[in-house]
Amino acid sequence: MGQNSELVKLEEFVSKLRQGFREMKAECARLVATIEEREATIADLEAKLADRASERANISDRVNRLIEQIEELDLVGGETVAHQPVDDRQRNLFPLD
């Protein structure tokens, strides 16, 4: 009878181990799915960020060209315009740093 009770205990222990393994496997699958979702979100946000940076650079270039065109004007209503230097803050309204 002693061996029988030992075998029952062993069977219960193995059953608990198997159940724990199944639970850990399910948790692992859930975590992998969460990671994949977050990686997809990160990739989407990085693409949006790159688009915004490109758009910002384009706007900055356009504003700089407009400033340069304004600086090139020599006459306004027949009078000479005194050129004042434009500092870097005015020239680059959208710094890329």
Instruction: Give residue-wise pLDDT tens across range 25-77.
Output: 999 999 999 999 999 999 999 999 999 999 999 999 999 999 888 888 865 54
pLDDT (0 to 100) of residue 38: 98
Q: Does 95 have pLDDT greater than 70?
A: no
Contact 53, 87 (CB under 8 A): no
- Please give the Cα distance from 57 to 93 (Å, whole number): 10
- Please give the Cα distance from 59 to 64 (Å, whole number): 9
Look-up of token digits 């219960």: 12
- Please give the Cα distance from 13 to 7 (Å, whole number): 10
Tokens describing residue 91:
């020239």
pTM of the model: 0.55
Determine phi and psi for 76, rounding to 5 degrees. -135, 110
